[in-house]
Amino acid sequence: MCNTSLHTFLAALPKAEHHMHLEGSLEPELLFELAAKHDVTLPSTDPAFASPAALRQRYDNFQNLDDFLGYYYIGMSVLIEGSDFEALAYAYFTKAASQNVRHAEVFFDPQAHTSRGVELSTIVESFKRAQARAETDFGMTTQLIMCFLKHLPLSGALETFAQAKDEGFFADGSLAAIGMDSSELPFPSPMWKDVYAAAKESGIRRTIHAGEEGPAHYVTQALDILDAQRIDHGIRALMEGDDELISRLASSKTLLTTCPISNVKLQCIPSIAAFPLKKLIAAGVRFSINSDDPAYFGGYIQENYCALQESFDLSVGEWETIAKGSILGSWCSEERKTQLLNEIDEVVNEHSN
Ligand SMILES: Nc1ncnc2[nH]cnc12
Ligand SMILES: [Zn+2]
Protein backbone atom coordinates (compact mmCIF):
# COMPACT_ATOMS: atom_id res chain seq x y z
CA MET A 1 0.00 0.00 0.00
CA CYS A 2 1.49 3.34 -0.90
CA ASN A 3 0.86 6.59 0.79
CA THR A 4 -1.03 8.44 -1.90
CA SER A 5 -4.66 9.36 -2.46
CA LEU A 6 -4.45 7.74 -5.90
CA HIS A 7 -3.37 4.38 -4.44
CA THR A 8 -6.57 2.53 -5.38
CA PHE A 9 -6.55 4.03 -8.86
CA LEU A 10 -2.85 3.24 -9.43
CA ALA A 11 -3.33 -0.31 -8.15
CA ALA A 12 -6.25 -0.88 -10.53
CA LEU A 13 -4.61 0.77 -13.54
CA PRO A 14 -3.80 -1.83 -16.23
CA LYS A 15 -0.04 -1.82 -16.71
CA ALA A 16 2.56 -2.96 -19.19
CA GLU A 17 6.04 -3.76 -17.93
CA HIS A 18 8.94 -3.65 -20.41
CA HIS A 19 12.02 -3.60 -18.24
CA MET A 20 12.27 -6.48 -15.80
CA HIS A 21 15.12 -8.97 -15.70
CA LEU A 22 13.67 -12.34 -14.73
CA GLU A 23 16.92 -13.12 -12.89
CA GLY A 24 16.42 -9.84 -11.03
CA SER A 25 13.20 -11.19 -9.53
CA LEU A 26 15.06 -13.91 -7.61
CA GLU A 27 14.12 -13.15 -4.00
CA PRO A 28 16.79 -14.01 -1.38
CA GLU A 29 14.64 -16.77 0.16
CA LEU A 30 14.34 -18.62 -3.17
CA LEU A 31 18.03 -17.98 -3.83
CA PHE A 32 19.00 -19.75 -0.57
CA GLU A 33 16.47 -22.54 -1.16
CA LEU A 34 17.88 -23.28 -4.63
CA ALA A 35 21.49 -23.01 -3.39
CA ALA A 36 20.71 -25.70 -0.80
CA LYS A 37 18.84 -27.85 -3.34
CA HIS A 38 21.74 -27.81 -5.81
CA ASP A 39 24.62 -27.68 -3.33
CA VAL A 40 25.79 -24.36 -4.73
CA THR A 41 28.32 -22.76 -2.39
CA LEU A 42 27.63 -19.07 -1.84
CA PRO A 43 30.67 -16.85 -1.05
CA SER A 44 31.51 -17.61 2.58
CA THR A 45 33.85 -14.61 2.92
CA ASP A 46 31.02 -12.13 2.26
CA PRO A 47 28.85 -11.70 5.40
CA ALA A 48 25.94 -10.72 3.13
CA PHE A 49 25.52 -14.40 2.29
CA ALA A 50 24.98 -15.38 5.94
CA SER A 51 21.18 -15.44 5.51
CA PRO A 52 18.37 -14.09 3.32
CA ALA A 53 17.89 -11.24 5.82
CA ALA A 54 21.59 -10.27 5.69
CA LEU A 55 21.47 -10.36 1.91
CA ARG A 56 18.41 -8.08 1.84
CA GLN A 57 20.23 -5.67 4.10
CA ARG A 58 23.21 -5.61 1.73
CA TYR A 59 20.84 -4.91 -1.16
CA ASP A 60 20.00 -1.62 0.58
CA ASN A 61 23.55 -0.38 0.08
CA PHE A 62 24.55 -0.72 -3.56
CA GLN A 63 27.22 1.82 -4.46
CA ASN A 64 26.63 1.71 -8.21
CA LEU A 65 25.58 -0.55 -11.09
CA ASP A 66 28.68 -2.76 -10.95
CA ASP A 67 28.36 -3.28 -7.19
CA PHE A 68 24.82 -4.57 -7.78
CA LEU A 69 25.86 -6.70 -10.76
CA GLY A 70 28.34 -8.62 -8.59
CA TYR A 71 25.43 -9.86 -6.44
CA TYR A 72 23.13 -10.32 -9.42
CA TYR A 73 25.49 -12.79 -11.14
CA ILE A 74 26.22 -14.74 -7.95
CA GLY A 75 22.48 -14.92 -7.25
CA MET A 76 21.55 -16.39 -10.60
CA SER A 77 24.19 -19.14 -10.29
CA VAL A 78 21.61 -21.15 -8.29
CA LEU A 79 19.37 -21.48 -11.37
CA ILE A 80 20.27 -24.85 -12.81
CA GLU A 81 17.28 -27.03 -13.70
CA GLY A 82 14.43 -26.15 -16.01
CA SER A 83 12.06 -26.17 -13.03
CA ASP A 84 14.13 -23.40 -11.36
CA PHE A 85 13.68 -21.12 -14.37
CA GLU A 86 9.98 -21.92 -14.61
CA ALA A 87 9.41 -21.29 -10.89
CA LEU A 88 11.31 -18.00 -11.07
CA ALA A 89 9.30 -16.69 -14.01
CA TYR A 90 5.95 -17.90 -12.68
CA ALA A 91 6.61 -16.25 -9.31
CA TYR A 92 7.26 -12.95 -11.08
CA PHE A 93 4.15 -13.29 -13.29
CA THR A 94 2.03 -14.05 -10.20
CA LYS A 95 3.31 -10.98 -8.38
CA ALA A 96 2.97 -8.78 -11.47
CA ALA A 97 -0.61 -9.98 -12.07
CA SER A 98 -1.48 -9.01 -8.49
CA GLN A 99 -0.38 -5.47 -9.41
CA ASN A 100 -2.45 -5.47 -12.62
CA VAL A 101 0.38 -5.95 -15.06
CA ARG A 102 -1.60 -7.06 -18.11
CA HIS A 103 1.33 -7.34 -20.52
CA ALA A 104 4.99 -7.98 -19.68
CA GLU A 105 8.04 -8.03 -21.93
CA VAL A 106 10.76 -9.57 -19.79
CA PHE A 107 14.53 -9.84 -20.14
CA PHE A 108 16.78 -12.79 -19.48
CA ASP A 109 20.56 -13.24 -19.73
CA PRO A 110 21.26 -16.58 -21.43
CA GLN A 111 25.05 -16.21 -21.45
CA ALA A 112 25.12 -16.14 -17.66
CA HIS A 113 23.54 -19.62 -17.70
CA THR A 114 24.96 -21.30 -20.81
CA SER A 115 28.46 -20.47 -19.48
CA ARG A 116 27.58 -22.73 -16.50
CA GLY A 117 26.40 -25.57 -18.70
CA VAL A 118 22.66 -24.84 -18.83
CA GLU A 119 21.27 -25.36 -22.34
CA LEU A 120 19.66 -22.38 -24.09
CA SER A 121 16.68 -24.59 -24.99
CA THR A 122 16.18 -25.55 -21.32
CA ILE A 123 15.99 -21.88 -20.36
CA VAL A 124 13.67 -20.84 -23.16
CA GLU A 125 11.32 -23.83 -22.90
CA SER A 126 11.05 -23.41 -19.12
CA PHE A 127 10.22 -19.72 -19.39
CA LYS A 128 7.66 -20.61 -22.07
CA ARG A 129 5.92 -23.00 -19.67
CA ALA A 130 5.65 -20.20 -17.11
CA GLN A 131 4.37 -17.81 -19.82
CA ALA A 132 1.65 -20.26 -20.86
CA ARG A 133 0.56 -20.63 -17.22
CA ALA A 134 0.49 -16.83 -16.78
CA GLU A 135 -1.76 -16.47 -19.81
CA THR A 136 -4.13 -19.22 -18.60
CA ASP A 137 -4.15 -18.25 -14.92
CA PHE A 138 -4.10 -14.44 -15.18
CA GLY A 139 -4.91 -13.52 -18.81
CA MET A 140 -1.51 -11.84 -18.89
CA THR A 141 0.34 -11.65 -22.19
CA THR A 142 4.12 -11.92 -22.02
CA GLN A 143 7.12 -11.83 -24.33
CA LEU A 144 10.77 -12.78 -23.85
CA ILE A 145 13.64 -10.45 -24.73
CA MET A 146 17.01 -12.17 -24.95
CA CYS A 147 19.80 -9.94 -23.62
CA PHE A 148 23.51 -10.19 -24.30
CA LEU A 149 26.03 -9.22 -21.66
CA LYS A 150 28.17 -6.15 -22.32
CA HIS A 151 31.05 -7.31 -20.14
CA LEU A 152 31.59 -10.35 -22.39
CA PRO A 153 33.15 -10.25 -25.88
CA LEU A 154 31.03 -9.51 -28.94
CA SER A 155 31.83 -13.01 -30.25
CA GLY A 156 29.75 -14.56 -27.44
CA ALA A 157 26.77 -12.36 -28.28
CA LEU A 158 27.05 -13.29 -31.95
CA GLU A 159 27.24 -17.01 -31.09
CA THR A 160 24.27 -16.84 -28.74
CA PHE A 161 22.26 -14.91 -31.34
CA ALA A 162 23.13 -17.47 -34.04
CA GLN A 163 22.20 -20.36 -31.77
CA ALA A 164 18.82 -18.86 -30.87
CA LYS A 165 18.15 -18.21 -34.53
CA ASP A 166 19.21 -21.73 -35.57
CA GLU A 167 16.98 -23.25 -32.91
CA GLY A 168 14.07 -21.29 -34.41
CA PHE A 169 13.30 -19.25 -31.28
CA PHE A 170 12.80 -15.99 -33.18
CA ALA A 171 10.92 -17.55 -36.09
CA ASP A 172 8.48 -19.40 -33.80
CA GLY A 173 7.89 -16.32 -31.63
CA SER A 174 9.52 -17.73 -28.47
CA LEU A 175 11.82 -14.71 -28.46
CA ALA A 176 10.38 -11.30 -29.31
CA ALA A 177 13.55 -9.21 -29.43
CA ILE A 178 17.17 -8.84 -28.46
CA GLY A 179 18.56 -6.54 -25.79
CA MET A 180 21.84 -5.81 -24.09
CA ASP A 181 22.58 -5.21 -20.42
CA SER A 182 25.25 -5.42 -17.68
CA SER A 183 28.04 -2.93 -16.97
CA GLU A 184 27.64 0.22 -19.07
CA LEU A 185 30.42 2.77 -18.81
CA PRO A 186 33.33 0.75 -20.29
CA PHE A 187 31.15 -0.70 -23.07
CA PRO A 188 29.63 2.01 -25.31
CA SER A 189 26.94 1.16 -27.84
CA PRO A 190 29.14 1.04 -31.02
CA MET A 191 30.88 -2.10 -29.70
CA TRP A 192 27.74 -4.13 -30.42
CA LYS A 193 27.22 -3.01 -34.01
CA ASP A 194 27.61 -6.47 -35.57
CA VAL A 195 25.06 -8.29 -33.45
CA TYR A 196 22.50 -5.48 -33.87
CA ALA A 197 23.11 -5.47 -37.63
CA ALA A 198 22.54 -9.24 -37.72
CA ALA A 199 19.30 -8.89 -35.77
CA LYS A 200 18.08 -6.05 -37.99
CA GLU A 201 18.87 -8.04 -41.11
CA SER A 202 16.69 -10.87 -39.77
CA GLY A 203 13.85 -8.45 -38.95
CA ILE A 204 14.28 -8.91 -35.19
CA ARG A 205 13.40 -6.10 -32.77
CA ARG A 206 16.17 -4.40 -30.84
CA THR A 207 16.48 -2.68 -27.51
CA ILE A 208 19.52 -1.84 -25.37
CA HIS A 209 20.36 -0.52 -21.91
CA ALA A 210 21.86 2.95 -22.43
CA GLY A 211 21.97 6.23 -20.56
CA GLU A 212 21.60 4.60 -17.13
CA GLU A 213 25.08 5.39 -15.74
CA GLY A 214 26.55 6.14 -19.14
CA PRO A 215 26.31 9.52 -20.86
CA ALA A 216 23.57 10.71 -23.22
CA HIS A 217 25.72 10.16 -26.28
CA TYR A 218 25.62 6.38 -25.62
CA VAL A 219 21.89 6.71 -26.32
CA THR A 220 22.50 8.70 -29.51
CA GLN A 221 24.98 6.05 -30.64
CA ALA A 222 22.47 3.29 -29.87
CA LEU A 223 20.01 5.01 -32.21
CA ASP A 224 22.53 5.94 -34.91
CA ILE A 225 24.81 2.92 -34.96
CA LEU A 226 22.65 0.07 -33.62
CA ASP A 227 19.32 1.31 -34.97
CA ALA A 228 17.85 0.43 -31.56
CA GLN A 229 14.07 0.79 -31.54
CA ARG A 230 13.76 1.15 -27.79
CA ILE A 231 16.09 2.39 -25.04
CA ASP A 232 16.22 0.84 -21.58
CA HIS A 233 16.64 3.63 -19.00
CA GLY A 234 17.84 6.55 -21.19
CA ILE A 235 17.38 9.01 -18.31
CA ARG A 236 20.78 10.59 -18.83
CA ALA A 237 19.45 12.16 -22.05
CA LEU A 238 16.97 14.12 -19.95
CA MET A 239 19.36 14.77 -17.07
CA GLU A 240 22.05 16.16 -19.36
CA GLY A 241 19.45 18.25 -21.19
CA ASP A 242 20.54 16.98 -24.62
CA ASP A 243 17.79 18.84 -26.47
CA GLU A 244 18.50 17.44 -29.91
CA LEU A 245 18.36 13.88 -28.58
CA ILE A 246 15.25 14.58 -26.51
CA SER A 247 13.34 15.97 -29.52
CA ARG A 248 14.52 13.05 -31.59
CA LEU A 249 13.24 10.55 -28.99
CA ALA A 250 9.93 12.41 -28.81
CA SER A 251 9.36 12.71 -32.55
CA SER A 252 10.36 9.09 -33.23
CA LYS A 253 8.13 7.88 -30.34
CA THR A 254 11.03 5.77 -29.10
CA LEU A 255 10.02 4.15 -25.82
CA LEU A 256 12.30 4.75 -22.84
CA THR A 257 11.77 1.93 -20.35
CA THR A 258 12.54 3.79 -17.14
CA CYS A 259 13.09 2.36 -13.65
CA PRO A 260 12.90 5.04 -10.93
CA ILE A 261 13.52 2.95 -7.80
CA SER A 262 16.42 1.15 -9.51
CA ASN A 263 17.96 4.53 -10.40
CA VAL A 264 17.92 5.59 -6.75
CA LYS A 265 19.17 2.23 -5.44
CA LEU A 266 22.10 2.25 -7.89
CA GLN A 267 22.82 5.89 -7.09
CA CYS A 268 22.20 7.11 -10.63
CA ILE A 269 19.99 9.77 -9.01
CA PRO A 270 19.98 10.91 -5.36
CA SER A 271 16.24 10.48 -4.78
CA ILE A 272 12.96 9.82 -6.61
CA ALA A 273 12.42 13.60 -6.68
CA ALA A 274 15.44 13.81 -9.00
CA PHE A 275 13.91 11.38 -11.51
CA PRO A 276 13.33 13.41 -14.72
CA LEU A 277 9.59 12.67 -14.83
CA LYS A 278 8.43 16.22 -15.51
CA LYS A 279 11.01 16.59 -18.29
CA LEU A 280 9.82 13.37 -19.94
CA ILE A 281 6.23 14.57 -19.80
CA ALA A 282 6.99 18.13 -20.94
CA ALA A 283 9.10 16.92 -23.87
CA GLY A 284 6.46 14.39 -24.95
CA VAL A 285 8.90 11.48 -24.78
CA ARG A 286 7.14 8.12 -24.66
CA PHE A 287 8.18 6.15 -21.58
CA SER A 288 7.12 3.32 -19.32
CA ILE A 289 7.73 2.81 -15.60
CA ASN A 290 9.29 -0.47 -14.59
CA SER A 291 10.90 -2.42 -11.76
CA ASP A 292 14.20 -3.57 -13.39
CA ASP A 293 15.35 -6.03 -10.66
CA PRO A 294 12.55 -5.98 -8.10
CA ALA A 295 14.06 -8.55 -5.72
CA TYR A 296 17.23 -6.48 -5.45
CA PHE A 297 15.70 -3.01 -5.34
CA GLY A 298 12.78 -3.66 -3.00
CA GLY A 299 9.92 -2.70 -5.28
CA TYR A 300 7.84 -4.20 -8.07
CA ILE A 301 6.01 -2.07 -10.65
CA GLN A 302 3.30 -0.81 -8.31
CA GLU A 303 5.89 0.49 -5.83
CA ASN A 304 7.54 2.39 -8.70
CA TYR A 305 4.23 3.99 -9.75
CA CYS A 306 3.50 4.94 -6.14
CA ALA A 307 7.00 6.32 -5.48
CA LEU A 308 6.57 8.66 -8.44
CA GLN A 309 3.11 9.70 -7.31
CA GLU A 310 4.34 10.49 -3.81
CA SER A 311 7.04 12.78 -5.22
CA PHE A 312 5.26 14.31 -8.20
CA ASP A 313 1.55 14.26 -7.38
CA LEU A 314 0.41 13.62 -10.96
CA SER A 315 -3.22 13.96 -12.07
CA VAL A 316 -5.38 11.06 -13.24
CA GLY A 317 -5.10 12.52 -16.76
CA GLU A 318 -1.30 12.41 -16.61
CA TRP A 319 -1.40 8.80 -15.41
CA GLU A 320 -3.80 7.93 -18.22
CA THR A 321 -1.30 9.36 -20.74
CA ILE A 322 1.59 7.42 -19.16
CA ALA A 323 -0.39 4.16 -18.99
CA LYS A 324 -1.56 4.48 -22.60
CA GLY A 325 1.92 5.44 -23.81
CA SER A 326 3.30 2.29 -22.26
CA ILE A 327 0.72 0.19 -24.10
CA LEU A 328 1.40 1.99 -27.39
CA GLY A 329 5.13 1.38 -26.96
CA SER A 330 4.63 -2.36 -26.39
CA TRP A 331 5.58 -5.05 -28.87
CA CYS A 332 2.31 -6.97 -28.59
CA SER A 333 -0.27 -7.21 -31.40
CA GLU A 334 -2.41 -4.21 -32.39
CA GLU A 335 -5.46 -6.17 -31.27
CA ARG A 336 -3.98 -6.68 -27.80
CA LYS A 337 -3.08 -2.99 -27.61
CA THR A 338 -6.69 -2.03 -28.37
CA GLN A 339 -7.93 -4.39 -25.63
CA LEU A 340 -5.51 -2.93 -23.09
CA LEU A 341 -6.29 0.68 -24.03
CA ASN A 342 -9.98 -0.11 -23.48
CA GLU A 343 -9.16 -1.62 -20.09
CA ILE A 344 -7.39 1.62 -19.16
CA ASP A 345 -10.42 3.69 -20.29
CA GLU A 346 -12.67 1.58 -18.06
CA VAL A 347 -10.52 2.15 -14.97
CA VAL A 348 -10.15 5.88 -15.68
CA ASN A 349 -13.91 6.24 -16.20
CA GLU A 350 -14.69 4.29 -13.03
CA HIS A 351 -12.36 6.54 -11.08
CA SER A 352 -13.89 9.71 -12.55
CA ASN A 353 -17.50 8.66 -11.77
N1 LIG B 1 19.90 -2.03 -14.13
C2 LIG B 1 20.65 -2.81 -14.92
N3 LIG B 1 21.53 -2.22 -15.75
C4 LIG B 1 22.32 -2.98 -16.54
N5 LIG B 1 22.29 -4.31 -16.54
C6 LIG B 1 21.41 -4.93 -15.73
N7 LIG B 1 21.16 -6.23 -15.53
C8 LIG B 1 20.21 -6.32 -14.61
N9 LIG B 1 19.84 -5.12 -14.19
C10 LIG B 1 20.57 -4.21 -14.88
ZN1 LIG C 1 17.76 -3.31 -16.59
- The pLDDT tens digits of the residues spanning 158-185 come to 999 999 999 999 999 999 999 999 999 9
In the reported structure, the alpha carbon of residue 19 is separated from the centroid of ligand 2 by a whole-number distance in angstroms of: 6
Which ligand is in closest contact with the Cα of 261?
1
For the stretch 55-81, pLDDT in tens is: 999 999 999 999 999 999 999 999 999
pLDDT at 86 over 60: yes
**Which of 111, 212, 219, 265 to probe ligand 1 with, by most ligand atoms within 8 A of CB?**
212
In the reported structure, the alpha carbon of residue 259 is separated from the centroid of ligand 2 by a whole-number distance in angstroms of: 8
Residues 263-292: what's their mean pLDDT?
98
Residue 181 CA: which ligand 1 atom is closest?
5
Our answer on whether the CB atom of 210 is closer than 6 Å to any ligand 1 atom is no
Tell me the average pLDDT of the chain: 97
Say what the pLDDT of residue 3 is.
65
Our answer on whether the CB atom of 209 is closer than 6 Å to any ligand 1 atom is yes
Distance CA 207, CA 232 (A): 7
pLDDT at 335 over 70: yes
In the reported structure, the alpha carbon of residue 183 is separated from the centroid of ligand 1 by a whole-number distance in angstroms of: 7
Give the domain 7-339 fold. TIM Barrel (3.20.20)
pTM reported for the whole predicted model: 0.98
Residues 308-328: what's their mean pLDDT?
97
Say what the pLDDT of residue 7 is.
87
Confidence of residue 263 (pLDDT cuts 50, 70, 90): very high
pLDDT at 350 over 80: yes
Residue whose CA lies nearest to ligand 1 atom number 6: 182
Which ligand is in closest contact with the Cα of 181?
1
Confidence of residue 5 (pLDDT cuts 50, 70, 90): confident
In the reported structure, the alpha carbon of residue 353 is separated from the centroid of ligand 2 by a whole-number distance in angstroms of: 38
**Which of 92, 146, 181, 264 to probe ligand 1 with, by most ligand atoms within 8 A of CB?**
181
pLDDT at 28 over 70: yes
Say what the pLDDT of residue 1 is.
57
Residue 232 CA: which ligand 1 atom is closest?
3
For the stretch 36-62, pLDDT in tens is: 999 999 999 999 999 999 999 999 999
Residues 1-26: what's their mean pLDDT?
91
Q: Parse the chain into domains and list their residue ranges.
A: 7-339
Percentage of the residues of the chain whose pLDDT score is greater than 90: 98
Our answer on whether the CB atom of 236 is closer than 6 Å to any ligand 1 atom is no
**Which of 25, 66, 72 to probe ligand 1 with, by most ligand atoms within 8 A of CB?**
72
Residue whose CA lies nearest to ligand 1 atom number 1: 292
In the reported structure, the alpha carbon of residue 266 is separated from the centroid of ligand 1 by a whole-number distance in angstroms of: 10
Q: Which residues of 304-337 are buried (b: 16+ CB within 10 A; e: fewer)?
A: bbbbbbebeebeeeebbebbbbbbebbbbeeebb
Say what the pLDDT of residue 14 is.
98
Give catalytic residue positions: 212
Confidence of residue 153 (pLDDT cuts 50, 70, 90): very high
Residues 142-156: what's their mean pLDDT?
98
